[in-house]
Structure 1
Amino acid sequence: MSNTRGEGDCSRILLVHGIWMTGIELAWLGRRLSANGFAVDRFRYRSLRQTPAEGAERLNRFIRQRGYDCLHLVAHSLGGLVLLNLFDRYPDQPPGRVVLLGAPVQGSVVARRLAHHPWGRHLIGRAGERGLVEGAPPWNGGRELGVVAGTSGLGIGRLLGGIDDVSDGTVMVKETVIPAASDRRLHATGHMSMLFSAAVAADVAEFLRHGRFPG
């Protein structure tokens, strides 16, 4: 897709939700980004019935049907793995920046534990393939990427045998690492509470404007 605008001038954001979610939980983040001058859209996919690669195919169609000339992408949790699959398979996307929030791009120890039990496999559905169990494809988006991770340690991981490293309670910080990322930021939040954090929203807005987190 062609575009004559610079990434710093882009004002359109597409939010991508995580597993078990519908995008409604992103409304608070969306309102804060709107207050910062961005126009915000949301993309919905079937997080349990589709693999992240299939979600990426659907996302690619969504973007192309709307003909965005410039588009920032902000994804939470599993949504970040959908984005890495998107850029791996469909790299020709509109210009813009990308922010991942609590995305276990290296795969999730919590998901791997669930995958060992029949009842747990129902909870992760098909999200493990090229996703929560196997890990996402390497980042090759060719654009500025910011990574946000939480450090509160309070979350579902404690109910599933604990997490032995710094985490947001569900995803370990080391599971979010992308060596090629432009910048990264840690916040003392939980996996879901980061979506309601004014500080996280401010960091996202700053990165989308300038390609770096503040400070």
Structure 2
Amino acid sequence: MNASPPDVILLHGLWMRGFAMAMLHRRLREEGFRVHQFEYMSVAAPPEQAIERLRRRIRALAPGPVHIVGHSLGGILALLACREMDEPGGRIVCLGSPLNGSGAARGLTHHWGGDVLLGRSRELLAHGLDHWDGPREVGMIAGRQQVGLGSLIGDVGLEHDGSVGVEETRLPGLADHCILETSHTGMLVSADVARQAAFFLREGHFDTPLV
């Protein structure tokens, strides 16, 4: 009897909907995963609402491992949802998530209408997390193709993906971190990103030297 394919939940980022993850969904399915979309309101609703819904979704897919791949804000929400969840097991891959705070988000709060654009996720994006000490292994894929307006809004450092600085994606406690030639939104359609994400979900590290 064949084992069921491992489950993966996809979380989109700020100002997006689930369909933005369609290409990544297809590629991870081709890698042998059973893929699930998770939609949430990134601006109008408080992050705590999405976090609690995500926990319920994870538990509903138990008892087998339930992996998560989160883009940008979605990666932060994934970590917060799983920080104190011992069961079920699984790994997390973050794609360009500003885990230690977003300079672009902080810069946007100083522009007229910035608070409205960031909505209820403003504080979470601006300040991020201190470290990761949850039970899951977490891998980060950062980009350095500088296509985007983030660097014009706030300080994202010299190396960035157009929206998030590479240094903003580093966080104590990550299992692995890799940098690819892709932009922030380009991660969602990148074959290299999908391949590296699938590799980490299976092995607990990326198919690249530790960066």
Q: CA deviation at 1:68?
A: 4.9
- Given that 1:51 and 1:128 are in contact with CA atoms closer than 8 Å, whether structure 2 keeps it comes out as no
Distance 1:163 1:71 in 2: 32
TM-score norm. by structure 1 comes to: 0.88
Equivalenced residues, count: 206
Distance 2:11 2:176 in 1: 20
Q: CA deviation at 1:142?
A: 1.4
Q: CA deviation at 1:31?
A: 0.4
Unpaired stretches in structure 1, ≥5 consecutive residues: none
Distance 1:10 1:177, change over 3 A: farther
* Correspondences of 1:31-180 after superposition (within 5 Å): 31-88=26-83, 90-129=84-123, 131-136=124-129, 138-160=131-153, 163-180=156-173
Distance 1:79 1:170, change over 3 A: same
Q: What is the CA deviation profile of residues 151-198 of structure 1, one whole-angstrom value per residue up to 9, with x for unaligned ones?
A: 011112144256432100100011110221111110111000011111
Distance 1:26 1:68 in 2: 25
Q: CA deviation at 1:76?
A: 0.3
Q: What is the CA deviation profile of residues 127-149 of structure 1, one whole-angstrom value per residue up to 9, with x for unaligned ones?
A: 123x1112135322212211100
2:133 alignment partner AA: N
Distance 1:136 1:82 in 2: 11
Q: CA deviation at 1:37?
A: 0.8
* RMSD, aligned CA: 1.9
Distance 1:47 1:19, change over 3 A: same
2:201 corresponds to: 208
- Given that 2:148 and 2:163 are in contact with CA atoms closer than 8 Å, whether structure 1 keeps it comes out as yes
2:169 alignment partner AA: T
- Given that 1:154 and 1:168 are in contact with CA atoms closer than 8 Å, whether structure 2 keeps it comes out as yes
Q: What is the CA deviation profile of residues 90-117 of structure 1, one whole-angstrom value per residue up to 9, with x for unaligned ones?
A: 4234111110000001110110111123
2:25 alignment partner AA: G
TM-score norm. by structure 2 comes to: 0.90
Distance 2:29 2:186 in 1: 19
